[in-house]
Amino acid sequence: MKEWGVKFGLPDHLAEKAASFSESSYGATILTLVLKDGTRIPHVHVAGRDVIKATGIEEESLLSALNPKKIVDVLRES
């Protein structure tokens, strides 16, 4: 069951990598998702393994249609 505000969970190996990044704001980590086709979705807020939101309308639109299996990497944002 999906919790309120959670769009999807990161794949296990990427959740572990994201957890190694320091928190950016209020317990969330802000990172960039890298997809199989090379597309990058920046400013993604993650809490634990859960993708919560993205900053920006375009980023939110990409997240809403995203299949998590297409994510191949996560990158730390400053």
What's the pLDDT score for residue 1?
Answer: 43
pTM: 0.88
* C-beta contacts of 21-24 below 8 A and 24+ residues apart: 21/74, 21/76, 24/77
What's the mean pLDDT when you consider all of the chain?
89
What's the pLDDT score for residue 74?
Answer: 97
Q: Which residue has the higher pLDDT, 22 or 70?
A: 70
What's the pLDDT score for residue 4?
Answer: 54
Quick check: helix, strand or coil at residue 57? helix
